[in-house]
Structure 1
Amino acid sequence: MPTLKFASLTTLAASILMAGTAFAADPITIKFSHVVAENSPKGQMAEKFKELVEKSSVGDKVDVEVYPNSQLYGDDQVLEAMLLGDVQLAAPSLSKFQKYTDQLQVYDLPFLFEDMAAVERFQNSPTGKQLLTSMQNKGLMGLGYQHNGLKQLSASEPLRVPEDAAGKKFRIQTSDVLQAQFEEIDAAPLKKPFSEVFILLQTGAIDGQENTYSNIYSQKFYEVQPYITESNHGVIDYMVVTSDRFWNGLPDDVRPALQKAMQEALAYGNSIAAQENQEAKQAIIDSGQSEIIELTPEQRQQWVDAMKPVWNQFSDEIGQDVIDAAQAANQG
């Protein structure tokens, strides 16, 4: 009996050891949640990251799952879900981080950047890189920036001068800066989830919205918005973000491979962002469903003059040094 009992214990111990080994060998699941279509620049970047990880040296240790079109969470919920460990990667618009840091509001200031090249110069500057770590005390860390593009205004009626927007309801992201931007032109800004925008436009619950050409096209906003004003008044970019706890808890051989894959994926996504916007703009023109209004220099200056007071309104929260660094990026 003692021998049989010992053998049973030995078998049990071996089973536990084997189960533990099998458990340890299970791949690390990374859920990458975002709110736009797969064919958008961000959607393609996320899929490229998944592809690169699968082909990398840690492909058998990591399983990347991409969830587009708000399948898991909207941008307003995903960061809290991340801190709870329900999502490992997300790429919210920079406007969504206000709860965690005031500094990223710099990207929402109207007419701050002259073009996307200036945005990239700022993001590659010491100040831009420092902003990636501005939320670590809240448990979040940025891995890099994904471009979308410059914002245009769409509406149910033509917008040529700021007075045309007065009294109209515009959907905005959750951003106090964007709220102030529209209040400066006597419009009514409404903070609504991205996933609800099409229905709100279609039903006339809102009059307009601001977005890049690629989002306006991929989300079919142009089908329910007869006018698009090419204002280039702001930027929509994203920060790929993860939880500090998750990232620093990764095995030492996994983290560098994921970082490399992410940087390559971001470079890929950013290389096609400008092309995507140009193609989307042309597709909207070809559809004949929405008229693109090109502002004269005088008309555009009226928008600049009307919205620029927002800069001073938020300079203390953002930091004048951050705003100055962003302005300097326009100089090349």
Structure 2
Amino acid sequence: MTATALMTMAAQGLAADYPEMTLKFGDILNRNFAYYAAIDAFKKEVEARSDGKIKVDIVTDGALGSAKDALEALQLGTVQMEVNVASYTQSIVPEHLIWDVPFIFKSREAWKKIAYGPLGQEIGDKIEPRGIKFLIWGSTGGRGFISKKPLATLADYHGVKLREQPSPVLVQTVEALGAQPVVMNLPEVYTSLAQGVLDAADVSIESIKLLKFNEVAPYYTETQHILTASMVIANLDWWNGLNKDTQDLFADVLATKYRETNDNWFSNVDPAASVEEQAKQLKGGVSNFTLVKSDIEAMRAATEPVRQKFREGIGADLFDRVQAAAND
């Protein structure tokens, strides 16, 4: 028997180890965002490599409700895998707060080095006692503020009603900048800006075009005050019931096709660059909003007390290791 024939038989044998199953994979946003594109890439690769034995059903477009609702659906087994975000899981895993500590990462490359390495795995695994299997971190892009007036200096933030996610470290970051935090889910932001409930909002630059925030708030400043993380997680009992070949297939596709698709979806905007350079870094260019450069160093200095306060809550040892690695 030839070597080629042996390899073919081996490949067929491995493929036979994949069970016939349908995997429900939850998406907390909608099919126009990065998460769906990445899950769809995962779906196509898994279905191809399993010769169609494994089907992936993407549950998206708000079907799971809020990120909190989605997490509960995963724990109940309504979906077996999902993408969620650290800004929500930190409510049950204090160590996940590390991704929302202001200005701890000086670049997205520094963030990736930690998130995609052993330290990131250690942080992710902290969720397992909750009946959840951590699989992989993913980028959510840079962050900044869409606003009705330019936010160029620290003084410009004073008294501004600024939307933030329901994260204590983010709320206190906004307060440290002199703004007035308003906790709000992303779908409510457009109407709140239009009606004057908000003056500004913490968003990713990609969400401006997706949700048309520029229609009600024409200025955007890329600050990267946080580089928060999305994650792919699974119901732990379900995951432990999979055979090793299936676990390995899912893990490999997440680390390759999923991560590549997710990360490439976002623009890599340097907050230290001129607005002219930032405009060139935007995928699709600037559309109907004005870029503003903020005083990042002043913002970093103003938020130092926030970093120190949450150091103990996260765990001083973990915090210091992340900070050291981020600045290495």
Alpha-carbon distance change, 76 to 168 in structure 1, aligned in 2, over 3 angstroms = farther
Alignment match of 2:307 (pick from 300, 308, 311): 311
Structure 1 equivalent of residue 282 of structure 2: 281
For residues 222 and 202 of structure 1, do their structure 2 counterparts lie closer, same or farther at Cα, with a shift above 3 Å needed?
same
TM-score, with structure 1 as normaliser: 0.83
Unpaired runs of 5+ residues, structure 2, are 1-17, 270-278
**Pairing partner for 1:267 from 259, 263, 274:** 259
How many pairs were matched up? 302
Q: C-alpha separation between the residues in 1 aligned to 2:81 and 2:180? A: 33
| Structure 1 residue 82, shift from structure 2 partner | 0.9
Identity of aligned residues (%): 26
Compare CA radii of gyration and give the structure with the larger one.
1
> Residue 53 of structure 1 is aligned with which of 24, 46, 58?
46
Name the counterpart of 1:230. 222
Partner of 1:300: 296
Answer yes or no: is 1:130 the counterpart of 2:126: no
Select between 33-42 and 96-105 the one with higher mean Cα deviation: 33-42
Whether 2:63 is the aligned partner of 1:64: answer no
Equivalence for 1:215 = 207
Residue from 17, 29, 33 that aligns with 2:22: 29
| Deviates most, 119-128 or 250-259 | 250-259
**Does the 8 Å CA contact 1:122/1:329 hold for their aligned counterparts?**
yes
Q: Which residue of 1 aligns with 2:88?
A: 96
Contact 1:76 1:193 (C-alpha < 8 Å) held by counterparts: no
Large movers: runs of 4+ above 4 Å? 274-280
Q: C-alpha distance in 2, partners of 1:37/1:191?
A: 21
Tell me the equivalent position of 1:198. 190
Structure 1 SS opposite 2:140: strand
2:37 is matched by which residue type in structure 1?
Q
RMSD of aligned Cα (Å): 2.4
How far the C-alpha of 1:151 sits from its partner, in A, is: 0.8
Contact preservation (8 Å) 1:211, 1:236: no
- Report which stretch shifted further, 212-221 or 307-316: 212-221
- What do the CA deviations read for 1:222-277 (whole angstroms, capped 9, x no partner)? 23221111222211320111111121122444222222222223332254144476
Q: Which moved more, 1:126-135 or 1:104-113?
A: 126-135
Structure 1: gaps (5+ residues) = 1-24
Partner of 2:289: 290
CA shift, 1:32, in A, is 1.9
CA offset digits 1:35-55 (Å, max 9, x no partner)? 334343322111101111110
- Aligned equivalents of 2:207, 2:85: Cα separation in 1: 12
Report the Cα distance in structure 2 between the residues aligned to 1:221 and 1:280, rounded to whole angstroms.
Answer: 20
Contact 1:52 / 1:261 at 8 angstroms: preserved in 2? yes
Counterpart residue type for residue 30 of structure 1 = L
Structure 1 Cα separation of the partners of residues 204 and 327 of structure 2? 24
Distance in 2 between the 1:155 and 1:260 partners? 40
Report the TM-score when normalising by structure 2. Answer: 0.84
For residues 63-117 of structure 1, what are the alpha-carbon distances to aligned partners after superposition, in whole Å with 9 as ceiling and x for unaligned? 2122333232221211111111112222122111122210010110111111111
Equivalence map 1:2-21=2 (5 Å): none
